[in-house]
Amino acid sequence: MDQEKPKLYLIAAIDQKGGIGLGGKLPWHLKADMEFFRRTTICHEDAQRRNMVIMGRKTWESIPESQRPLKGRKNVILTGNKDFKAEGAYVAHSLKDAMELADDRIASIFVMGGAKVYQQAISLKGIKGIYLTQVKKAFRCDAFFPKPPKFPKKELLGKGEEAGVPYEFWLYSKPASVRKLPREGQAQGARPNRSRSDRKEGSAGARPKKKR
């Protein structure tokens, strides 16, 4: 029996105006969002497979060095720099080449930013859905999430509030593409934007630096 092809998703956090970052950093710090990102991009139903994340070079560099590569996932960096090297990660020079690095051991692919990478990926016909954290507040941003395509299914996965900042976790998808995820910690979790770091709560410099 043929192995199911990896499903392609985008995952992002946006404010009320669609902003995703300022100066390559997250304008907010929500532990629940960082945990939501971690669980979403790691969890899958087949123990013999893992997921893959695709990010731009600036996003990669925004992750604290001690947290790179993101554990439990195949890390792929998209850059136009032909000489760029990254320990523990794969490097691709086009989105097409990055996608082709997903072999039959990859369950799902997550495009995690930044803005230019989202813009390249948003129009792909193979997108199954978008995991979107909606931060219910406006922040100063200089990078924005592109206008997403319309999906017939919209599912609220959780919501909460931290330091006076309310947020909601949504999945926009085609009906057959919904992935089952653990429900624990929905109203209190975490994730990064351009630099999604898996740094544990309480560790020094827990806020991700630089850069969906």
pLDDT band for position 42 (cuts 50, 70, 90): very high
pLDDT band for position 176 (cuts 50, 70, 90): low
Domain ranges of the chain: 7-177
Q: In the structure encoding, which two tokens stand for residue 202, read together?
A: 């309480």
- Superfamily name and number for 7-177: Dihydrofolate Reductase, subunit A (3.40.430.10)
Mean pLDDT of the chain: 86
Q: What is the CA radius of gyration of the chain?
A: 16
pLDDT in tens, 100-153: 999 999 999 999 999 999 999 998 888 999 999 999 999 999 999 999 888 999
Strand-pair partners of 33? 190
Assign 177 to helix, strand or coil. helix
pLDDT band for position 45 (cuts 50, 70, 90): confident
The answer, as to whether pTM is greater than 0.75, is: yes
**Distance (Å, rounded) from C-alpha 169 to C-alpha 129?**
13
Q: Give residue 210's identity as a one-letter amino acid code.
A: K
Q: What percent of the chain has pLDDT over 70?
A: 81
